[in-house]
Chains A and B, each alone.
Chain A
Amino acid sequence: MASTSDNGVLLETRGLTKRYPGVLALDGVDFTLKAGEVHVLFGENGAGKSTLISILAGVQLPTSGEVRFAGAPVTLDSVRAARKLGISAVFQEFSLVPTLTVAQNLFLGDEPRRHGFLDRAAMKRGARQLLGQLDFPIDPNATVAFLPRAEQQMVEIAKAFRSELSVLILDEPTASLTERETRRLFALVEKFKAAGVAIVYISHRMQEIRRIGDRVTVLRDGRRIGTVDARSTDEDRLIEMMTGRPITEIYPPITWSPGEPLLEIRDLTTAGGEVRGASMQVRRHEVVGIAGLVGSGKSELMRAAFGLLRAQSGSVHFRGREMTNARPRQLLEAGMFYLPPDRKEEGLILSHSSNANMSLPALRRYPLRRALGLLSNMARNQLSEATARKVQLAFKNLGRPVAHLSGGNQQKVLFAKGLVHEVDLFVYDEPTVGVDMGTRSALYALVKELCETSSGVVVVSSDLPEILHLCHRVYVMRRGRLVAELQGEAIRESNVLQHFFGEDRTA
């Protein structure tokens, strides 16, 4: 255990600034971390949380300002240097090598050796001990790529516990853990806390912040807005600090006047068994939510409807026509738009401009396509600008490669792709994953407008408030089956959760 200075401060930053070309990611941040506390970092995407922890973990150096450890200034110029002081980080994006085994990953860069050769027995023993100590039931010889996501996350966490710890940095560690695994992690955090380890914890989940946090530091636009007590500060205050504006309605009330049926799914079972015997319906002018845990088949149900997964039995009707196992292109032409959950993986061409991404679905049609199949660039720019206005995307972003945009703006571009041609049904799969509050409210306003003026909307979401506050009707899925349909007053948190877990509810 490293010694702390008089007031219990173990790690401290003074005037920490990080400048990237064109962006000030951190702007003179003073941050103190005490031994034995869980210090939550809170802020929108792009507020500087990731930059701050990557500097603390030795991944990058600050442009100016200093980091002090146990009262003395230190230079954290490598992950190794940080780890020597006992500073270890669990990053959000998986930093595991998928082709190596669990044991190899756990000891990567710090392998036990004997006479210069790997001591594989010691490595396996150490891995087993480490995993056992954390109570993670994972085989150290398993190849990481074969593990489910939650177990990969556990390996990631175990990696940080490998060495003698003084500071533990956790970046949204519970994102893919079950309630039970989360409790196990929290018990561990408590244990380390009691041993005097300082913990930096990034999370967006209010419940978690209150459950294990001691202090909360709110960042906005690279600046520290304030540090408050985690238990006595209420949710609204935190969101106000984070967004910098008073809480208005984030979820706008949407008028419900269901029209003719658009999508009808009857007794659908997918070839892979992800969805079994599901029947549902979506009408014009309504927002229908599909909720469920990861792996419940909620996303797969819509992917099957859009022709991305093969249906083995059952049928899909769209606007009165049977379109079971139709191709995505046919469904697009018929007026269905599917927004994929992973914008980087499936949604956007990252190296292309926003303009190019947005207009891609419209290239085959007039007004972009003119005589002889030639494209009109003027029409294209006009279309992009008109669409950008609808999703509240600043025009200056139109010419820039999507890869350079913030997560929120990327999501706006993805939404825009559905607005460049006639669409009757919008299916949004995880529409606000990893976007900031400002983008969220802009996108919700768009959903409201689309629903009230022209279309039907399906929202597939793991974000419960989104399901509770945005949807008129909610289907709940569990293990591939549709287990409940809720409407109006029945859409309550307790109700939805009960159906998530069913009889075998463990939470």
Chain B
Amino acid sequence: MSELTTARQPEEGEEAQPARRPADLLRALFVRLGVLPFLLVAALVMFTLLSDQFLTVQNLVNLLRQSVYLILVSLGQMLALVTGGFDLSVGTIQAVTSVVSARAMSSLAAGAPEAVWLPVLAGCLAGILAGMAVGVVNGIGVAYVGVTPFIMTLGVQSIGFGVALFLTGGVPVSGMPAAFSDTFGFGTLLGVPVPILITVACVFGFWVLLDRTALGNYFHAVGGNPKATLLSGISNRQVLMMAYLLCAGMAALAGLLLTARVDSGEANIGGTVALESIAACVIGGVSLRGGLGRVENVVLGAIFIGLVQNGMNLAEVGSYLQMVVLGTLLIIAVISDQLRLRYFTRA
């Protein structure tokens, strides 16, 4: 019926583009990088003014060392977010890993006191596997059964925490070989703390994964438009499964390193990490609607959160107020995400 319907207006090439005002530049920067650069500058200026110990080499190295645990979890969390979901159970995964690895190590060490490394390695393996098992449950629920990520990981979070408490009776597990804590908690290699080395390796690995492999593309594709991904002959289920599995793996690794740091297996080791990791990702420009997110920005986001906590500690801000600040930052990040997406689709 309609021989001439929607045809697009020819582009207007002849009209001069208006000169860019500073506000436009800021907006373009915001669309490209997200809210993080602005927050980072604000925080650096504020804490430098508030405390003269803040901007010292020693404090900054300390800050980095404290941030690695959150960086690791945030890397995993990013995968869940990029595919359009999220993982609320990362804290539980840390707890399960911590408890299981500590338990395995202490009982193996008690059984064979002369072998040092066997219990450590076996314990690490057991802890990581236990944590990833939680990820498998999440993955099955989200990818194969179709439970929304919110409910699935919220439920698993409660289940896992209960299991971790049950395994320990609520009492921290001790009696691990000293080598474990000495190496993974406080060890250094060429003067660099081991947790930082492991984290650097993971960051690099994630960058390769997301930037240089097909699977990395698929994480973005599933979150950006699941239907298009399916029509391109990709198994969305496998991609989602991998996302939750790798997310759990990273949380487990962080849990293991934390266990080494505190030298005991604790069920309540990952209390606020779900909130913090989601905040780190969103502040780092990962869209809650999926499809957008870059490794380097997430790392910066996690460091930013560490920086805020470190700065507030130095400025003697009480821990109760710190919770208020963290929650506020998360909400600011989400609002800016919405703004950014609006500009993004309109640009």
Which residue numbers of A lie inside 8 Å of B, CB to CB?
A: 59, 78-80, 83, 91, 94-100, 104-105, 108-111, 113, 116-118, 120, 145-146, 148-150, 175-179, 181-182, 204-208, 239, 293-296, 437, 440, 462-466, 478-479, 493, 497, 504, 506
Residues of A within 8 A of B212 (CB): 117-118, 120
> Are the C-beta atoms of A205 and B3 separated by less than 8 Å?
yes
A96 to B232, CA, bound (A): 9
Known A-B contacts A148-B8, A178-B7, A479-B9; the reply to A108 vs B2 at CB < 8 A is: no
Report A75 CB to chain B, min CB distance, Å.
Answer: 15
* B222 nearest in chain A by CB position: A97
A116 to B212, CA, bound (A): 9
Report B341 CB to chain A, min CB distance, Å.
Answer: 9
Report B228 CB to chain A, min CB distance, Å.
Answer: 4
B172 at the interface (CB under 8 A from A): no
A175 to B6, CA, bound (A): 6
B227 at the interface (CB under 8 A from A): yes
A99 to B288, CA, bound (A): 13
B5 at the interface (CB under 8 A from A): yes
Q: List 5 A-B contacts (CB under 8 A).
A: A79-B233, A110-B233, A463-B1, A463-B2, A464-B4
> Are the C-beta atoms of A104 and B217 separated by less than 8 Å?
yes
Report B1 CB to chain A, min CB distance, Å.
Answer: 6
Report B98 CB to chain A, min CB distance, Å.
Answer: 33
> Are the C-beta atoms of A111 and B217 separated by less than 8 Å?
yes
Contact of B225 among A79, A98, A181 (CB under 8 A): A98
* A272 nearest in chain B by CB position: B346
> Are the C-beta atoms of A206 and B231 separated by less than 8 Å?
no
> Are the C-beta atoms of A97 and B5 separated by less than 8 Å?
no
* A242 nearest in chain B by CB position: B1
B131 at the interface (CB under 8 A from A): no
A466 to B287, CA, bound (A): 42
B16 at the interface (CB under 8 A from A): no
Which residue numbers of B lie inside 8 Å of A, CB to CB?
A: 1-10, 12, 208, 211-214, 216-217, 220-221, 223-225, 227-234, 287, 291-292, 344-345, 347
Known A-B contacts A79-B232, A108-B234; the reply to A100 vs B217 at CB < 8 A is: yes
Known A-B contacts A206-B1, A294-B6; the reply to A118 vs B214 at CB < 8 A is: yes
Report B214 CB to chain A, min CB distance, Å.
Answer: 5
> Are the C-beta atoms of B232 and A108 separated by less than 8 Å?
yes
Contact of A97 among B10, B228, B233 (CB under 8 A): B228
> Are the C-beta atoms of B234 and A109 separated by less than 8 Å?
yes
Residues of B within 8 A of A80 (CB): 233
> Are the C-beta atoms of B291 and A464 separated by less than 8 Å?
no
A111 to B232, CA, bound (A): 11
* B227 nearest in chain A by CB position: A95
> Are the C-beta atoms of B8 and A97 separated by less than 8 Å?
no
